[in-house]
Amino acid sequence: MDFEDIVYTTENHVATIRINRPEKLNAVSVQSLQEIETAFDMAGKDPSVGVVVLTGTGEKSFCAGADVSMQRDGKMGRTGAAAYSPPYMQIVRCPKPVIARVNGFAIGGGNHFAYFCDFTIAADHAVFGQSEPRVAYPAGGPVVGYVARIVGHKRARELWMLGRRYSAQQMFEWGLVNAVVPMNELDAEVSKWCDELLSVSPTCLKIYKASFIEEFQDLLGQADFLRRWLVPAEFWETEQREGTSAFLEKRKADYSRFRSKQ
């Protein structure tokens, strides 16, 4: 089928889903996420596909998260947090192993993509991190809790609560990345991992992946976490507006006036 925000291809039993918005650092819109979900569904149901690769166009960015410029245009509104939840369930429930080919910035939702994939192969210039606390974009539930299963709670809280940036090598040391290579070797490294996965029993891979998902099942009940904990309506006109405006204006957000003086 035809897509606008992604490119979907299959070759040699590998399906590649490429976010194709380089002018936005491959930041995603609601449409982008819908197309990614559709592509994962296609790859999962295609009997000729053995491995799925998720990546971005160019050498600068894998995915820079949500396209926050749409918030200012009024295209996200209060449903933004829900609408922009990355399709992590499509990644974890895809019966095929999924490799994140990280070719640059993996920020916010882009970082979610990377850590929900079964394997993450990164170019050595890649940068990882969460932007949500800096732009007042709340998230909750599985998208936050899942990373604690990988790196532990201390690291996960640092990642989410401080909004720092981390190199590919740091993420390798944390256990969020499987391999780090120079950009000119990235495709060869991803192909090597694809070839190894394609050389083993596809039924075994399906069972192994389903077994790993079982550990994740208790997090599914947190799907309404954000709705329960998020904030009165005025949040979107105060903290969230300040966070988005500061990001777009390339200045540091000032949340001090939203804290109690007592």
**Residue 230 falls inside a structural domain:** no
Instruction: Supply the range of the domain harboring residue 84.
Output: 6-184+197-214
Considering only 47-51, 167-171, 229-233, which range has the smallest mean pLDDT?
229-233
**Residue 229 falls inside a structural domain:** no
Residues paired with residue 63 on neighbouring β-strands, in sequence order: 106
Model confidence at 111, pLDDT cuts 50, 70, 90, reads very high
Q: Is the pLDDT of residue 81 over 60?
A: no
Q: Is the pLDDT of residue 78 over 50?
A: no
Number of alpha carbons in the 13 Å side-chain half-sphere of residue 169: 3
Q: Is the pLDDT of residue 30 over 90?
A: no
Q: Cα 251 to the chain's mean position, in Å?
A: 24
**Residue 231 falls inside a structural domain:** no
Residues paired with residue 121 on neighbouring β-strands, in sequence order: 101, 179
Across residues 78-89, what is the average pLDDT? 55
In this prediction, residue 144 carries a pLDDT of 86
Contacts 24+ apart (CB under 8 A), 58-61: 58/22, 58/26, 58/103, 58/104, 59/103, 59/104, 59/123, 59/183, 60/22, 60/25, 60/103, 60/104, 60/105, 61/22, 61/25, 61/26, 61/103, 61/104, 61/105, 61/110
In single-letter form, the type of residue at position 165 comes to: R
> How many domains are there within the chain?
1
Across residues 144-159, what is the average pLDDT? 92
State how far the Cα of 97 lies from the Cα of 151, in Å rounded to an integer: 20
Residues 6+ away with beta carbon under 8 Å from 223: 141, 142
**Residue 113 falls inside a structural domain:** yes
Mean pLDDT of the chain: 86
**Residue 57 falls inside a structural domain:** yes
Q: Is the pLDDT of residue 220 over 80?
A: no
In this prediction, residue 221 carries a pLDDT of 55
At residue 74's C-alpha, the angle toward residues 231 and 35, to 5°, is 95
Domain of residue 114, CATH code = 3.90.226.10
Work out whether strand 98-102 and strand 127-129 pair parallel, antiparallel, or are unpaired: unpaired
How far is residue 212 from each of residues 32, 41, 48, 150, 208, measured CA to CA in Å?
A: 27, 19, 23, 12, 6
**Residue 237 falls inside a structural domain:** no
How is residue 34 written in tokens?
């819908």
**Residue 223 falls inside a structural domain:** no
Model confidence at 82, pLDDT cuts 50, 70, 90, reads very low
Model confidence at 79, pLDDT cuts 50, 70, 90, reads very low
Q: Name which residue leads in pLDDT, 235 or 56.
A: 56
Across residues 238-247, what is the average pLDDT? 78
**Residue 228 falls inside a structural domain:** no
Q: Is the pLDDT of residue 80 over 70?
A: no
Across residues 215-223, what is the average pLDDT? 66
- Total Cβ atoms within 10 A of residue 231: 15
